[in-house]
A = this chain, B = another copy of it.
Amino acid sequence: MENAAGWDTPMWHTTGFRLIKLGELAQAATAAVFAPQQITSRQFHVLSAAASMPTPSQKELSRVLGVDPNVMVGLIDDLEEQGLARRERNPRDRRRYIVTPTEKAERILEEARRSVARAEEEFFAALSEQEVAVLHELSGRLLTSHPRVTKYE
């Protein structure tokens, strides 16, 4: 088997191990992608999810993103401080907030999405377009075949 850049663990030949390492690699890559936008990948996901939901409460965001609600508090705090999101009370249920991305956040999201697209191209440069499609499909099927990792549902 091939073994170019230091992947010489006995576990190298197991597929599960490769998936774990590949996940770490992708994680590191995405972190680097968002650095120029001055946001973390977590923040990007929160904003992205909030922008796609009608009246996102912190609880709903927690559930969707698999993040503990008490962590979401700090996440939204930071977004507010950076002027990327606002907390408005939900008039239908005054316990809940509606987390709303600001216009500044919308602009950053737009730019970030383009960066993600570029980064993906680069990340998968070693694979043909067709192979990436296969990987995409297999990953999706594998994920949906398993119960979710996180709680907070």
Q: Which secondary structure dominates where chain A touches chain B?
A: helix
Which chain A residues numbered 130 to 144 have a C-beta less than 8 Å away from chain B? 131-132, 134-136, 138-144
| A35 contacts across to B, CB distance below 8 A | none
Is residue A25 within 8 Å, beta carbon to beta carbon, of the partner chain? yes
Contact A142 B127 (CB under 8 A): yes
Cβ of A19 to closest chain B Cβ, rounded Å: 4
| A116 contacts across to B, CB distance below 8 A | 14, 16
| A16 contacts across to B, CB distance below 8 A | 26, 29-30, 116, 119-120, 123
Binding site for B on A (CB under 8 A): 1-11, 14-30, 45, 48-49, 51-52, 63-65, 116, 119-120, 123-127, 131-132, 134-136, 138-149, 153
